[in-house]
Amino acid sequence: MKSYIVGNWKLNFNVGEASIYLHKLQKKIPNYRDVEVVVAPTALCLQPLSLQIERSKMKLAAQNAFYRDFGAYTGEISFAELAGLVNYAIVGHSERRYIFHEDDKMIAKKVAAAIRNKIRPILCIGETESERSFGETRDVIRDQLLGGLSEVSEEDISKVLIAYEPVWAISSTKDAKPATPDEIAEVVGLIRANLKEIYGAKIAEEVPVLFGGSVKPTNAGAYLTVPGVNGLLIGGASLILEQFTDIIETAKRVKQ
């Protein structure tokens, strides 16, 4: 299975800045067949970057989209409009859940819309510090995972990536603290156990599971060697060229 290194640029870089960064990034990294590099710029940057990106080296992802393909939805961008521009889409990120109040029902519709439009969804799940301290991690992970996949058939589950992103470990969160490999391994085990219940053992092992949460060059290697982890979803470090390329190179070394 490939390793996936996904850089979520969030609300950073205008079109010109994104273009310059992508140009520099493409010059620094070779074509790694066993490491899939993905960058997720803002929606405004997707179309111009789609003309610039070397798809043999990396792919584009959307940070968000709307689940309806067309209609009277002022200000929204649909997965249907993104088809052909992006290969991936981040769905259910904690900032979408807790700032924009997206629930599992809406997230499930977005996952289904992405698949319908031949875009691979990266379904983000993860508990808050409060939920973890009250011993609710197992329930939260199950509810968010199965809720987000509620419209995904056995035939389509192979098109989905799961990203475990504990809210308490995200660097932009107040009082964030990095997750330990043991903490990650425990939850990744829960994710695969729940997938096994619904889709069977073979599929449960084949679905890529990524980790995200204060990922840096100094801890990327440890996270990538956690059993069951197939890649990383990176926020702040993906905005710094040297750090992002270091993480990509670490992923390559781990695969070897």
Catalytic residue among 93, 102, 151, 249: 93
Neighbours of 95 (CB within 10 A): 22
Token pair in block for residue 44: 């405004």
Note if 165 is an active site residue: yes
Which token pair is 108? 């499930």
Count other C-beta atoms under 10 Å from residue 246's C-beta. Answer: 17
Q: Is 155 a catalytic residue?
A: no
Q: Which long-range contacts (CB under 8 A, 24 or more apart) does 133-142 make?
A: 137/187, 137/190, 138/190, 141/187, 141/190, 141/191, 141/194, 142/190, 142/194
Residue corresponding to tokens 């035939």 = 155
Catalytic-labelled residue, pool 36, 81, 102, 165: 165
* Residues 6 or more apart in contact with residue 81 via CB below 8 angstroms: 65
Catalytic residues: 93, 165
